Structure 1
Amino acid sequence: MQWYETIFRLIDMRSFSNLWFWIVLAVMWSTASHWIIGVPFDMVTRARKQGGQAMADLEAATGINTRRVLYVLRVSGSWLTGLSFFLLTSLLALGFFYGIEFAQALFLLLMPMTVVSALTLRAALRYERAPPEGHDLCRMLTFHRMKVQALGMISIFITAMWGMWQNMRLDAF
């Protein structure tokens, strides 16, 4: 028996029945809902409760991260958009038209994250147009986080349903 056959027998390489896939999904959405426009959400709660220096730190961090995100958008946004659409279209075709489970899993991980990226860009552009301060900034970041969390719940639900369907379908044979 070859060494790679031993590894493949030891570790189930099907994506939706693999524990590592579900751990990655949970960590990905936990991270996405914690870092709002590059600002950790604990800064928002601390600024809302304490005010003063904590609020000034939040305003500074949000301004820095917004400028960073918008710089990347303006310098290489069209290239990143084209590459993202190419990758997602390739994964969609490989996964759902050719039935490659790994491509399905990657598509179900990456597609919602592109929506999160679009929401982040939209929030950054809104911040740039009229930078909110104080509790208005906290409200804006909290609302953005709620949108990301709602998208995460929908995405996890769809991924779980598709994964269960795939596992039941493949285990039936």
Structure 2
Amino acid sequence: MRPALTLATLLLAAAAAQAQSISVNKGQWSVTQDMYYEVSAGGEVIDIPAEHTAIEECWSLDEEVLIDESMVEMFEGCVSTGVNAKQFGLDIGLSCNFDGINVDGAALFSVSHGRDSFAAQIYLASPSGDEIDFQSHILMIGHRTGTCQAPG
């Protein structure tokens, strides 16, 4: 029984790797996003406050529930450096230029088995030794709260 389970797991992982995308279920979604920054220039710390947002949205289109390399377009100034697909996740390498500040990092997405929740972590950092030391960490957590409500 164990070899069959191992083979099934490998086949699923191979299928996910070929797909280079994952998705969540369509419906009403609640998503929170927290952004944290550590920035210094010439050794002097620049205080950038953390940000928190929360949204409630209806995701009814295929494009809205798909998680793939095209999501990099959401981060203006960024391009993908490659994708590593997993059975319930996707890791996307990032290279960005924000107003002359070059940063590299990754966007790591995980989707629950039932596809009704996800978590994403985005890490960006400037190369060590740069005049501007920039690091950011974004945490996104989403869960499906039901079906979309008809406009009132």
TM-score band by shorter chain is under 0.3
Please report the TM-score for the alignment, with normalisation by the length of structure 2.
0.26
Q: Which structure carries more helix by proportion?
A: 1
Q: Which structure carries more strand by proportion?
A: 2
